[in-house]
Amino acid sequence: MIERIPFGNTGHLSSRIIFGAAALGGMKPERAMATLELITAAGINHIDTAASYGDSELRLAPWLRAHRSSVFLATKTGQRSYAGAREELRRSLDRLGVPGVDLIQMHNLVDKTQWEQAFSEDGALRALIEARDEGLVRFIGVTGHGTYVAERHLQSLERFPFASVLCPYAFVMNRGGPYADDFESLYRACQARGVAIQTIKSVAARRWRDEDEGRRLSWYLPLKDADAIRRAVHFVLSRPGLFLNSSSDATLLPAIIAAAEGAIEAPDPVALETDAVTLGVEPLFVRDVMDDVRV
Provide the percentage of residues in the chain whose pLDDT is more than 70. Answer: 99
Strand partners, 139: 103
Cβ within 8 Å of residue 220, ≥6 positions away: 201, 204, 205, 206, 207, 208, 284, 294
State the Cα–Cα distance between residues 103 and 88, nearest whole angstrom.
14
Average pLDDT across the chain, whole number: 96
State the Cα–Cα distance between residues 9 and 29, nearest whole angstrom.
34
State the pTM of this model: 0.96
Asked if residue 184 has pLDDT above 70, the reply is: yes
Q: What backbone phi and psi angles, to 5 degrees, belong to 7?
A: -85, 85
Question: Are 231 and 260 spatial neighbours (Cβ–Cβ below 8 Å)?
Answer: no
Does domain 4-278 correspond to CATH entry 3.10.20.30?
no
Please give the helix or strand (H or E) that residue 95 lies within, else none. Answer: helix 82-96
Locate the domains of the chain by residue range: 4-278
Confidence band of 294 (pLDDT split at 50, 70, 90): low
State the Cα–Cα distance between residues 135 and 171, nearest whole angstrom.
39
